[in-house]
Amino acid sequence: MTDLPFPIESPLLSDAAASVIAHGFFTRQGGVSEGIYASLNVGLGSEDDRASVAENRNRVAAWFGQRLERLATVNQVHSPRAVVVDDAYRGERPEADALVTATPGLVLGVLSADCGPILFADPHAQVIGAAHAGWKGALTGVLEATIEAMIGLGAARDRIAACLGPSITAAHYEVGPEFVARFLEADESYDRFFTPSARAGHAMFDLPGLTLKRLTEAGVKAETLGLCTYVDEERFFSYRRKTHRNEPDYGRQISAISIREA
């Protein structure tokens, strides 16, 4: 593994799987991009220089001891779709929001800039997953779809550990009444994830709380790093911060996981 960049690791995943699984929640540091994209922007959908994005993605792959073509990502569309990848992977980016594999050496990555990146591992079965869960993905089942895809490859529900990485927290995620109504129509108990804001009819939404609830109710061990993308500008990109500042674009950080090769 290369020295740069320095990712944040999950205590839960490290305790459960360090000998067979490598993982990291990468920050925006350690790359070559400049300006508003500084510096480890891996977002192919951003307007950053493509060569810089490619080099940043190459650095992430190299941290795992792999070539860029072994870094698997998807075209994230806020869906509940999880895709299984194996040695046949050739760099395609299907429309989906989660990846699962039992193939050593493949690096599964999901991009984020406020939405929740979740890394999964069953070290006994050597099956891993990575999911991107914003409010829509979390509500419509991307976490559960990832777990089911892992079970399809031999994982056991009670052995799967999952960690939610850096994402926006309730203190900085204000939503309107239509947003709240959508969640209460799905499950009235979801009112616990909303607290009134200063604006009439609006509320602050606890996306990490919803994510952890869905994970634990799915029967897996779960934790959150408790890191907020909105407030920690030095380490994380944030779509909502960019919107509040009327900036023209924003970068994306990556969270990634891989089964170690023998």
Residue 179, Cβ density class (10 Å: 0-12 exposed, 13-18 middle, ≥19 buried): middle
Contact (CB, 8 A) for 129 and 146 = yes
What is the pLDDT tens value at each position of the chain, 262 positions in all? 555 557 999 999 998 777 899 999 999 999 999 999 999 999 999 999 999 999 999 999 999 999 999 999 999 999 999 999 999 999 999 999 999 999 999 999 999 999 999 999 999 999 999 999 999 999 999 999 999 999 999 999 999 999 999 999 999 999 999 999 999 999 999 999 999 999 999 999 999 999 999 999 999 999 999 999 999 999 999 999 999 999 999 999 999 999 999 8
How much is the pLDDT for 16?
Answer: 78
How much is the pLDDT for 4?
Answer: 57
How much is the pLDDT for 161?
Answer: 97
CATH topology of domain 11-167+223-259: CNF1/YfiH-like putative cysteine hydrolases (3.60.140)
How much is the pLDDT for 6?
Answer: 75
* Whole-prediction pTM: 0.98
- Respond yes or no on whether the N-terminal peptide bond of residue 39 is cis (omega within 30° of 0): yes
Ranges of each domain in the chain: 11-167+223-259
How much is the pLDDT for 262?
Answer: 83
DSSP string, 54-118: HHHHHHHHHHTT--GGGEE--B--S-S-EEE--TT--S---B-SEEEE--TT-EEEEEESSSEEE
DSSP string, 200-236: TT-EEE-HHHHHHHHHHHTT-EEEE---BTTT-TTT-
Sheet arrangement for strand 71-72: 21-25, 253-259, 107-112, 71-72
